[in-house]
Amino acid sequence: MAIAPPRGKALDELRFANSFASLGGAFSERRTPTGIPGARLVSFSPEAGALIDLRAGEERRLEFAELVAGNALLDGMEPVAGMYGGHQFGVWAGQLGDGRAILLGEVPAPSTDDERDAAPGKRREPVDTWELQIKGGGLTAFSRFADGRAVVRSTVREFLASEAMHHLGVPTTRALAMAAGDEPVLRERVERAATVIRMAPTFVRFGSFEIFHYRKQHERVRTLADYVIDRFYPECGDEADRYARFFTAVVERTAALMAHWQAVGFAHGVMNTDNFSILGLTLDYGPYGFVEEYEPGFICNHSDESGRYAFDRQPTIGLWNCYALAEALSSLISKDEIEAALARYEHVYRATFLALLRAKLGVLDARDDDADLALELFRMLEARRIDWTNFWRALSHDDATALTLLGDDESSRAWLERYARRVVDDPRGDDERRAAMRVVNPKYVLRNWVAQEAIAACEAGDDSVVNAVLDVLRAPFDEHPNREAWAHPAPAQYRGLSVSCSS
């Protein structure tokens, strides 16, 4: 009997190119990572590995750990650091760029549509290549006064959040693996250096266009737009209106992304234009947080003193950032085309958010008063400080569980009665309908206190908690009886936990 060959490619069989680097020195600088000697591999995402057809078990090789730690490159890699600008907290900040991230190269995706990576609610799109970028790989020309390093704290948070959001069905960059070492790095305190290899079809962002627009280098705006359209938006064609069609698609993807954030209760924390992906992906995980006690004005970033990026302002800021991108593309698109594209934002946001809410409520059809039903619920959750994730999960089981969480009083019963009338005509039985709700309403999200437990253990040299958290977040809709505590709001010792831009 013939033995089937191993599935996937060995590490040294991966074939790298770097189409972004081929744009030239105006867009990036060549830069070899500065590795972390003696670093250990902390964790690896098998689903992310499957995206580049990496053979199972390759992550156990020493060569893989050396790659993740920035101590080695693979054949064909052409590492570069990208240049971009950005509006930070609403103010044009000028040139920024990859100060601690280095693009290693791009790898072809498997030629077959591999369903190993399917997840409930996940938006599946054809992807030809995946860029691999190391974060924490040392100084670049864009590091300014920083050291180009990442620390265990920020790296654990980015690694876990990237994979958590994917498995929640939210468009996001991915994280292949992370490594940690003993090299000291000074932040608010002395911490330890770490690296993560993250993945996306491209890391081009709104600010990548802004920097050339504000320098009046409009031909470079066009060059970059042509590159992005040809590789990632081929449906925009090659006619004169291709730039308008491209901008419209970015606006629509951004609006849909904001709807996904609001539906899962995710607050990004630093929605600067340099942190907004041109593909509509969640990009750059820093001081993020998932809403626990429902508070529309939740501010997850301790550095955001004005609350510009509060949870309930995210959809508005998403639109603001689209206006900033419109300005950057104004040498390619007419004013009328810009206005027509921006007009799509509110429609797409509202339609996507309502569709996600209907799925969370377990209803199949759309009715005019669904928004009112949801708003009435939101007001109750806010007034009673109910945990966002736990309420939706409770409603996915039965009304009695939801009533217990809301509090058994007249207003709670009135809303549940209204909800019961809304779903009475559903052709599915109640058990089937609730089961469908449980594959869109997660039991587990990455609560900051859970991330902190993983960080503390990793800083002490124990990587088991990071891996245990990852295992739960890979299946957030399932029950994990041994990890029940991670589905609960922060215990008392973590209630003062805060995160800032250095997180």
* Torsion (CA) 72, 199, 194, 71 in degrees, nearest 10: 0
Give, rounded to a whole angstrom, the gap between the first and last alpha carbons of the chain.
Answer: 54
Question: Which one-letter amino acid corresponds to residue 40?
Answer: R
pLDDT of residue 127: 78
% helix, strand, coil for the chain, step of 5: 45, 15, 40
- Cβ burial of 24 (10 Å; 0-12, 13-18, 19+) is exposed
Which residues are identified as catalytic?
274
Q: What distance in Å separates the CA atoms of residue 238 and residue 229, rounded to the nearest whole number?
A: 9
Stretches where the chain sits below pLDDT 70 are 1-5, 112-126, 500-503
CA distances from 368 to 99, 344, 350, 418, 420 (A): 48, 20, 13, 14, 16
Which 8-state DSSP code applies to residue 135? Answer: E
C-alpha to C-alpha distance for 260 and 169, rounded to whole angstroms? 8
What count of residues does the chain have? 503
How is 61-99 classified by DSSP, letter by letter?
A: SHHHHHHHTTS---TT---EEE--EEEETTEEEEE---S
pLDDT at 120: 39
Write down the pTM of the prediction: 0.95
Least Cα distance to 263 among 354, 330, 173 occurs for 354
- Domain ranges (residues) in the chain: 11-203, 362-437, 449-494
